[in-house]
Structure 1
């Protein structure tokens, strides 16, 4: 076991509703919302340039909360007084999202968020597991919702609608009234569940992660030391200002997309691994920092990204952060000032958190890599537990509060942490450990590969696991070209890695890599697929003499 401490001193934390923390008001300062001018922008929609000020966001959220307590017809029903109401949101990202999220919080209810790429069966599982009573969805996703509800045995009358013409539109929730104030979650009530996001944890089916008000309020506060140069907006608009004085603007995108919408938002770089010439077509010079998450970036890939951006005049710092749904999510951040000197690291532990690297758990040797261990974390951002799953919770959180992340890492003398890979995903080749993330970072350097994933495939003949790569070509190719590319990539990797890291399990080209909503590679799906196919260049049985 190795303890890793934060270089930052602990910060004060607050036990209250996330709504109160971000959008609260006081009689003495009615012009301030959450401590900032009510007229300042909170969200801007890239596609329409629609601006939500803090005051507008608060008002809409309280109107939405009012209607959640007094549902418009025909949605009214008698809730179960012993079960907190749960609202399911099944929609792509829109500017309505923050209104719904904060409105549910203000009403004192729970929210469960479903990936808009879900199939009806996936949605049905989450809807039932979360015990949701109300679904908000996007018109194009309505058929998925109806199929999900029907699969659960709901009748047409129970679903309350068979076509879009009879659905209750979102605008019916506004203009009916406004809560005078949000439901309070002060003190111990701050430990009540607010969000149910679904995660597979280290193993198994998706489980509802119970994230509390206190978890999120704490996260906001402990993140502050790693964002010291972020300037808040204090005006009703976003002034150009003087260099270094303009308010901070953050563009968030889930990393499952191959690139960003450069035509909608100028000055935004492409995501790591994208090899088209998109960034050469747009002005990127105002971007100063790019954060990556969901999967570790190798040093070579970071260098490639910086070089490409520098060629178009953008001197961009490429940094990383690390966390899990179960940790609300961020727990480690690479400060921009350290990004160029600690390339490949995810940074320092945030304040108020304790981290240890554990090499042995209940008699099991987790890793034999010198100096490495599984990251265990304890602190105010660790989830309450998995919904209605005490056995999974007990497996993930020790009696004294340590959450087992399932990620293997090393830490240097200065406390900088580098992720090696998942505990359950390390490949063992004849006693040697092979980290998929390392090979994936290398594969993304190949000019003809736009995405990649590496898993281990069992070889009975070799009595070991063989590393196999699944790659996404940068463009359409024929089956013959696919085989040629696979063999070429296998040889290319072999020239760049140690012998035990060669792709002896072969290479297979695919249209896309299966990933979770947060961008993590779903290796279990690939391992299942691998059982029924042979990769190009896969090592075959040895001839017995």
Structure 2
């Protein structure tokens, strides 16, 4: 039977995300909203509000308006938040792009989303201009935040004297198009509305003690829905101070936490490994940390407990997907007693059920079933992809997550397995089908299949099973890994290769991944 959240529903206003977040800052107007942890650059709430409005006005002058899409291809800085909300204030839509993407991957997202502008930084300019050229965007459609010859800059946008356009968007309008592989296949545009994002902020507000006194560490990328909602936008909603890092570097990460007295740190499991085991951690005063919250991939309970013990803080985790804006379940701040292997309770307004993926029948307490989720945070669908939408989102409004879970009598959910093919490497999505398609372009590879396997540290990594062409007897595992690495973002690289005589497939030609998982590891 469906399991409702044990928390009371929250009322969700029909407003734009801008109106929800920027509706007056009161005595927090002069307080720091965002701090660049590396440089110390600080933007107050009032300054951010002014920047957002000027960016919106400048974009409107450039013809950007309702329904237009702007790509945001940049690392975490305070200016990312200003640009993000400037686009929304211009009644337009943000498509957030993975900062590790190659020109080809970036071009695919720009073309698929129909982006009219691309915002980036000078360090990414080579990739940005190559992708822009591939999809026909001119140089003046590539905005370089920190400036580059031949391109508009953030300073140019902020120099406008125009007024921002009238707001025309409502809660039902699309706000962002992050890209996700869902349960399988190549990355797809996830249509999230203003209401989806507002709802998720109000839902997670009930689960944690995030206030105007909280200092949030934002090292996980804002382009990822976890960073976007749980760090950047939750910080604005709760009038907290968000301290940004452009990329993870352990000594710098620890220095920033210590120097800025960060009390709430959001991580993915690989960071937990460093916090639990690396000797350098003891060189920093981290007593300021109150809560470490892990998401994006399952956190091992023993590892989480080791972090909690070493740092003297509470460690929690939750569950979500891009398609859920992203949070659907989490451990609340006031329940550190919950077993850390669980992902806690369904958040307010969420109804869940567990369904046997073989029979389609609902299962009960203690039984394994695919997790289905319904609530106001569930996406509208996949952009221009009704087939994928129909597979993932049913007629009753339940999103089929592709993850297998159990629920106990108290309504505590635990993720125990995966139906979907997706690999999660350090919290990033790696769709096997994309790697398989790439491998098959190699002239010495006859067939290939990819699954996720655990490495020595318990991290899920992509493993390729490869059938050589008759002419490919000299093809090595290093050759295969180098071929993929040269053509794809670093987090998608194949890290293990096994050569086999035949890829197991069903009568319909579907790869039998369970058979590959059941194989004993073979030498390469």
Distance (Å, rounded) in 1 between the aligned partners of 2:415 and 2:206 = 22
Q: Kindly indicate whether residue 367 of structure 2 is the aligned counterpart of residue 384 of structure 1.
A: no
| Structure-2 residue corresponding to 1:169 | 153
Aligned ranges for residues 365-376 of structure 1 at < 5 Å?
Answer: 371-376=367-372
| Structure-1 residue corresponding to 2:400 | 404
SS of the aligned residue for 1:405 comes to: strand
SS of the aligned residue for 1:165 comes to: coil
Q: Give the alignment partner of residue 150 of structure 1, picking from 114, 117, 133.
A: 133
Q: Give the alignment partner of residue 214 of structure 1, picking from 190, 195, 200.
A: 195
| Structure-2 residue corresponding to 1:7 | 6
Distance (Å, rounded) in 2 between the aligned partners of 1:195 and 1:340 = 36
Aligned-pair CA distance for 1:369: 12
Is residue 85–residue 133 contact of structure 1 (8 Å, CA) maintained in 2? yes
| Structure-2 residue corresponding to 1:359 | 356
1:242-292 deviation digits (Å, cap 9, x = unpaired): xxxxx9656677997767611233156892112321210100111011000
Distance (Å, rounded) in 1 between the aligned partners of 2:158 and 2:181 = 36
| Structure-1 residue corresponding to 2:174 | 193
Aligned ranges for residues 29-40 of structure 1 at < 5 Å?
Answer: 32-33=24-25, 37-40=28-31
Q: How many residues align?
A: 428
1:180-199 deviation digits (Å, cap 9, x = unpaired): 575143xxx31111100000
Q: Kindly indicate whether residue 323 of structure 2 is the aligned counterpart of residue 323 of structure 1.
A: no
Moved more, 297-306 or 317-326: 297-306
Aligned-pair CA distance for 1:40: 2.9
Q: Give the alignment partner of residue 300 of structure 2, picking from 298, 301, 323.
A: 298
| Structure-2 residue corresponding to 1:244 | none
| Structure-2 residue corresponding to 1:413 | 409
Question: Taking structure 2 as the reference length, what is the TM-score of the superposition?
Answer: 0.71
SS of the aligned residue for 1:262 comes to: helix
Judged with a 3 Å threshold, the aligned counterparts in structure 2 of structure 1 residues 340 and 133 are, in CA distance, closer, same or farther, namely: same
Q: Kindly indicate whether residue 253 of structure 2 is the aligned counterpart of residue 261 of structure 1.
A: yes
Is residue 359–residue 367 contact of structure 1 (8 Å, CA) maintained in 2? yes
SS of the aligned residue for 2:406 comes to: strand
| Structure-1 residue corresponding to 2:291 | 289
Distance (Å, rounded) in 2 between the aligned partners of 1:355 and 1:321 = 15
Query: Structure 2 regions of 5+ residues with no counterpart?
Result: 215-238, 433-449, 460-480, 502-515
Distance (Å, rounded) in 2 between the aligned partners of 1:342 and 1:396 = 29
SS of the aligned residue for 1:91 comes to: coil
Q: Kindly indicate whether residue 464 of structure 2 is the aligned counterpart of residue 470 of structure 1.
A: no
Judged with a 3 Å threshold, the aligned counterparts in structure 2 of structure 1 residues 368 and 410 are, in CA distance, closer, same or farther, namely: closer
Is residue 408–residue 423 contact of structure 1 (8 Å, CA) maintained in 2? yes
The structure having more radius of gyration, on CA atoms, is: 1
Q: Kindly indicate whether residue 86 of structure 2 is the aligned counterpart of residue 103 of structure 1.
A: yes
Judged with a 3 Å threshold, the aligned counterparts in structure 2 of structure 1 residues 159 and 381 are, in CA distance, closer, same or farther, namely: closer
SS of the aligned residue for 1:322 comes to: strand
Judged with a 3 Å threshold, the aligned counterparts in structure 2 of structure 1 residues 151 and 296 are, in CA distance, closer, same or farther, namely: same
Judged with a 3 Å threshold, the aligned counterparts in structure 2 of structure 1 residues 393 and 341 are, in CA distance, closer, same or farther, namely: closer
Q: Kindly indicate whether residue 99 of structure 2 is the aligned counterpart of residue 116 of structure 1.
A: yes
Is residue 210–residue 387 contact of structure 1 (8 Å, CA) maintained in 2? yes
Aligned-pair CA distance for 1:100: 0.6
Is residue 323–residue 331 contact of structure 1 (8 Å, CA) maintained in 2? yes
Is residue 129–residue 139 contact of structure 2 (8 Å, CA) maintained in 1? no
Is residue 331–residue 344 contact of structure 2 (8 Å, CA) maintained in 1? yes
| Structure-1 residue corresponding to 2:70 | 87
| Structure-2 residue corresponding to 1:496 | none
| Structure-2 residue corresponding to 1:505 | none
Aligned-pair CA distance for 1:345: 1.2
SS of the aligned residue for 2:273 comes to: coil
| Structure-2 residue corresponding to 1:17 | 16
Distance (Å, rounded) in 2 between the aligned partners of 1:336 and 1:179 = 42
Is residue 360–residue 366 contact of structure 1 (8 Å, CA) maintained in 2? no
Distance (Å, rounded) in 2 between the aligned partners of 1:39 and 1:182 = 26
SS of the aligned residue for 1:355 comes to: strand
1:429-459 deviation digits (Å, cap 9, x = unpaired): xxxxxxx99xx9xxx9xxxxxx9x9x9xxxx
Q: Give the alignment partner of residue 45 of structure 2, picking from 54, 64, 85.
A: 54
Q: Kindly indicate whether residue 44 of structure 2 is the aligned counterpart of residue 45 of structure 1.
A: no
Aligned-pair CA distance for 1:372: 1.2
SS of the aligned residue for 1:166 comes to: coil
Question: Taking structure 1 as the reference length, what is the TM-score of the superposition?
Answer: 0.69
